Structure 1
Amino acid sequence: MCTHTNLKGSVMATTPHTVLITGTSSGIGLAAAVAAARAGWRTVATLRDTTRADALRKAAADAGVELDIRQLDVTSETSVAAAVDGVIADHGRLDAVVNNAGAGHLGTLENDSMEDIRKVMEVNFFGVLNVSKAVLPHLRACEGRLITVTSVGGVIGQPFNEAYCAAKFAVEGYMESLAPVARTLGVSVSVVEPGAVATEFVNNIGVDLGAAVEAGQYTDALRRYIDRTSRQFLDGSAQTPASAAEAVIEALHADRPAFRIQTTDWARAFVGSKLADLDGSAVQGLTAAWVA
């Protein structure tokens, strides 16, 4: 039970607020965990495989902060419940949760198996719900906040990302619907929408981009998509994980965080093109050029 019932402004040093972050082995999750600890939060950094925590531990040591590193597999209700119960038992409160765990996927409907698509949904959508459902009672007790890292791909569907974008669309729709309901009980709900983040695309989609991609009749279009997208990650235009994590920390500290938060000016413009596109023609014209 929270001794302070309201989470606003800066963290109180005398009673550290507790944040749980999923998917902290690398990327935005790792950067957000270290940044939150540096900002004064008692940070529970979770990951599916704790043997992959070396980079996280090194980053924390380099920053001079302590992290509470725990195992949590977002696809397992048992694992989620054990992790959340452990946090409450050890720290007595849970003021904020950052759903960051996820996995990329590159493919298209004709070539993907239904099992492939279900796996993408399981991690990126149902995993978010598993964690959110388990933590909401504790967030209610603290009038805390639920923050989910989605993607600009949760607003704009992108070629060869059908399954991934479908999962992120689902997360955004769910959280957009949940937000006003949770707000009646004092819980703030937000989504953070990064664009291209350095190393994320290449390392997280399960495709060797250096190899020839064979996708049947879609091969030429897929190669054009990979060429176009890879340039974002190789020419320095992708933002760093630390930069993207700044938006997460801002959402933790803001008095009234926005529901939808983009991490760069490019992401704001990209998302804005969809929100102003009533008939879909602008977005289709934009993304069609990536594969034409």
Structure 2
Amino acid sequence: MSTKTVLITGTSSGIGLATAVAAARAGWHVIATMRDTAKAGPLLAAAEEAGVDLDVRPLDVTDPATVEACLAGLDRLDALVNNAGAGHVGTLEQESVADVRAVMEVNFFGVLHVTKAALPLLRAGKGRVLTVTSVGGVVGQPFNEAYCAAKFAVEGFMESLAPVAATVGVSVSVVEPGAVASEFVSNVGVAEDVLEQAGRYAPALSAYLERTRGAFSGAQTPQDVAAQMVALLSAERPAFRVLTSDAARAFAGTKLKDLDGSAVQTLTGTWVA
């Protein structure tokens, strides 16, 4: 059987980088994409160390034209991994609606752009879609209003798409990590600067940041998540929802069995007290 092809977004660091290398080691032809290929150095170094080759291409998930250009000429696509995303910390009173829209563009509409463009190829090959969401797509979290809104939207969209896609032979899964030790965490660290302008929200934000630093001290590695992603790529019947760690399963489980919402409110309320 010819080598299967997977396209992965957001491969310049973290889960995307680790998944691209792990999939190539497992025998996949990997189209590794990122917004700015000038940042491909760490990915290419990791690929060289692993002894694998990658097909690195530019793709900005917020620009449908670059999505179409990336897919142009492909005659086969067996899997899509929607991984590209961006963290955001803030609260509604202190940011603009434009700020929230920008978060939605990257984390929600970006997923839609890529998935829509890839579906004809995936349908032809009876392929699959794996989308990295987050436990933040299940449980709303303080100062993550825009980010969680985008991830909730992705979860609802994919949960609704899954049975429809299955009728044409395409499987759909969401992958929900908890804390992962990657540059994603460092990028969210700019919240420390936000603290200076937090005003009346400063005590709550300070408490949240302190709690978050503790949560990420024992974070899961990107390589661990990547191993589970590769297993999903080859699974005969992949699950719709995959929580990647015991901590993620426990956290999301709080919401999934919380019929009146009180358990989640009690839990997250302690984060800002």
Contact 1:104 1:206 in 2 (8 A): no
**Structure 1's 30 and 109: CA in aligned 2 closer, same or farther, altered over 3 A?**
same
Is residue 2:169 matched to residue 1:186? yes
Report the alpha carbon displacement of residue 85 of structure 1 after superposing the two structures with TM: 1.1
Greater than 4 Å deviation, 4+ residue runs: none
Could you tell me which amino acid in structure 2 is paired with residue 23 of structure 1?
G
Is residue 2:223 matched to residue 1:248? no
State the SS of the aligned residue for 1:252: helix
Whichever structure has more helix as a proportion of its residues is 2
Aligned residues: percent identity?
A: 66
1:290 is aligned to 271
2:141 is aligned to 158
Q: After alignment, is 23-32 or 205-214 more displaced?
A: 205-214
1:264 is aligned to 245
Residues 1-292 of structure 1 correspond to what in structure 2 (within 5 A)?
14-86=1-73, 88=74, 92-205=75-188, 207=190, 209=192, 213-233=196-216, 235=217, 237-292=218-273
Contact 1:151 1:192 in 2 (8 A): yes
Q: Could you tell me how far apart the structure 2 residues matched to 1:227 and 1:44 are?
A: 38
Unaligned runs of 5+ residues in structure 1 are 1-13
Contact 1:202 1:209 in 2 (8 A): no
Report the alpha carbon displacement of residue 132 of structure 1 after superposing the two structures with TM: 0.3
Q: Could you tell me how far apart the structure 1 residues matched to 2:196 and 2:258 are?
A: 33
Contact 2:15 2:182 in 1 (8 A): no
Report the alpha carbon displacement of residue 242 of structure 1 after superposing the two structures with TM: 0.7
**Structure 1's 56 and 17: CA in aligned 2 closer, same or farther, altered over 3 A?**
same
Q: Could you tell me how far apart the structure 2 residues matched to 1:188 and 1:199 are?
A: 28
Unaligned runs of 5+ residues in structure 2 are none
Report the alpha carbon displacement of residue 23 of structure 1 after superposing the two structures with TM: 0.2
Report the alpha carbon displacement of residue 271 of structure 1 after superposing the two structures with TM: 0.9
Q: Could you tell me how far apart the structure 2 residues matched to 1:213 and 1:150 are?
A: 30
Could you tell me which amino acid in structure 2 is paired with residue 39 of structure 1?
A
Contact 1:102 1:124 in 2 (8 A): yes
Contact 1:105 1:206 in 2 (8 A): no
Report the alpha carbon displacement of residue 208 of structure 1 after superposing the two structures with TM: 5.4
TM-score, normalization by structure 1 = 0.91
State the SS of the aligned residue for 1:209: helix
**Structure 1's 44 and 93: CA in aligned 2 closer, same or farther, altered over 3 A?**
same
Q: Could you tell me how far apart the structure 1 residues matched to 2:196 and 2:252 are?
A: 29
State the SS of the aligned residue for 2:242: strand
State the SS of the aligned residue for 1:103: coil
Could you tell me which amino acid in structure 1 is paired with residue 101 of structure 2?
R
